[in-house]
Amino acid sequence: MLSEELFLLFFVGSILVFQSLQKRMEDLIRWLFFGHRPVPAELLHHFSDKISGLLFLSDIVKAMVQELPQKINVDSVAIMLLGEKQSRLYPEHLRFGSSPWSRSKLTDQFTHNHAVYMKTDKSLHDKDLEREMKEIREAGFSLVLPMRTATGLSGLLFIGFRKDGRRFSMQDIHLIAALANQGAIALENARRHESLIESKRQIEELFNERVQQEKMALVGEMTSMVAHELKNPLGIIHSSAQYLVQKDRPPEVRREMLQYIMDEIEHLNISVESLLSMARQPPPKFEQIDFSQALPELVQRWIGSSDHNPRVKVQCHVDHYLPTMYGDFRQLSQVIINLIRNSEEMMPEGGDIIVAAHSDGKTMSLRVEDNGPGIREEDMENVFKSFYTTKKGGLGLGLVVCQQIVAAHKGKIGLDNNPTGGAVAWIKLPLRPLATSGLPTPQKEGKSKKGNV
């Protein structure tokens, strides 16, 4: 039994060895008697994998023009990429062909004929085709193969003469033809890739131009607004100073003029601070925030400040438990206080404001709700635009800065009218804003931020 198994193994091994020797003998006989040494299929396979991994057209062309000749043992390789308006020949220093390749007889032959290859025979029945083939041979090429993709003929692959002086076999030609089609697909993908890059560049240029135009428009608008805001106070200060320069002015009038000057200087200071807060808004410093404690404390500080209108009742409602979120409470406090201030200014004779916070486990929702007159429909679409204001002496930058701060926290802000009357300002903030940006959330030890403004 054992001897039978050994015999079987010996028999199978002998067959494999014999087939390998037979293949080598056939290649040797073919080369000795018929002048052909086959192109190694594995080399072309590896080369095909290489060009398939390249992204840029120049790299693929370089590989095919400079490296492929060594793989198939020829003196040169050239590529003609066909285009509707203009065809391109690589290497670029080559110049041959007396007629445009996109309209040549050879291109027409490959377009309508599904032959895999075309030999440069002299026995051609078409004079124009024979002339073109003669020009190709004189340029140093022995074969021309079509480069096809799913959309049709995209180019021509010119193969030079073998360095050993032999001819290509049909097997070799079919292998090179398959490589030509693989190269055509790689070149088409590279064209699309570079087209996408160019489209992206053009879009970025258009975007930058649009941003620049908007910046210039904003600068013009800001210049006009600043000139208006500064002109009136400076005029009052100038006229008051002129009045004070004159002698024999009553003390009470002098005090009144000095108070005018101080008031207008304060107004100028507020205007400048508003502009600077918009232009120099720093990025948020993310820390843990416990809104269940921070928000009530912030509301109480506002109620105790001199800016609060005592005729307005401000209440704070928060959920019993609010999850910790990450944010810059100093900046978010600026937003909340600004919204409370806006509501109070809409109710100079008094009213009610409710500041509320709740969470769904993923976001933190803040609301500032009042029972004032609400927002006019014609103002609703413009409230977040720069320099748009309905307040006397206002710059129209408060809500713009609020929107910038909320956007820096990856959140959203909006204004609505209550069906029952009054306005509602709402803010939605992610509990982990850095996580939504793909950045790690900072880990803080100890107690969370409670809202020290």
Quote the DSSP letter at residue 64: I
> What CATH architecture is 31-195?
2-Layer Sandwich (3.30)
* CATH class of the 223-279 domain in this structure: mainly alpha
Question: How confident is the model at residue 67, as a pLDDT?
Answer: 87
CA 199 to chain centre: 12
Is a pLDDT exceeding 90 seen at residue 428? yes
d(CA 97, CA 267): 80
Which amino acid is located at 286 in the chain? F
Q: For 390, list phi and psi in degrees, rounded to 5.
A: -110, 0
**Residue range 350-355: mean pLDDT, rounded:** 92
Superfamily of domain 287-436: Histidine kinase-like ATPase, C-terminal domain (3.30.565.10)
Cβ neighbours of residue 421 under 8 Å, at least 6 residues apart?
371, 372, 373, 374
Quote the DSSP letter at residue 101: G
Minimal CA–CA distance to 48: which of 83, 39, 113, 94? 39
**Residue range 223-246: mean pLDDT, rounded:** 69
Helix boundaries (H) for 346-427: 377-380, 398-408
d(CA 78, CA 89): 7
Minimal CA–CA distance to 336: which of 425, 272, 449, 433? 425
Is a pLDDT exceeding 60 seen at residue 120? no
Is a pLDDT exceeding 60 seen at residue 339? yes
- Cis status, amide bond into 284, omega within 30 of 0: no
Domain ranges in the chain? 31-195, 223-279, 287-436
pLDDT of 291-313, one tens digit each? 999 999 999 999 988 889 999 99
d(CA 190, CA 192): 5
Provide the b/e sequence for 187-197 (b: ≥16 CB within 10 Å): bbbbbeeeeee
Percent over 90 (pLDDT), the chain: 14
Is a pLDDT exceeding 50 seen at residue 232? yes
Minimal CA–CA distance to 72: which of 143, 148, 132, 146? 143
Q: Which of 16-25, 51-60, 106-115, 172-181 has the lowest mean pLDDT?
A: 16-25
Question: How confident is the model at residue 32, as a pLDDT?
Answer: 44
Is a pLDDT exceeding 50 seen at residue 140? yes
Tell me if 291 sits within 8 A of 364, measured CB to CB. yes
pLDDT bucket at 48, cuts 50 / 70 / 90? confident
Helix (H) or strand (E) holding 45: helix 41-52
Give CA torsion, residues 27, 28, 29, 33, to 10 deg: 110
d(CA 296, CA 288): 17
Minimal CA–CA distance to 391: which of 229, 238, 261? 229
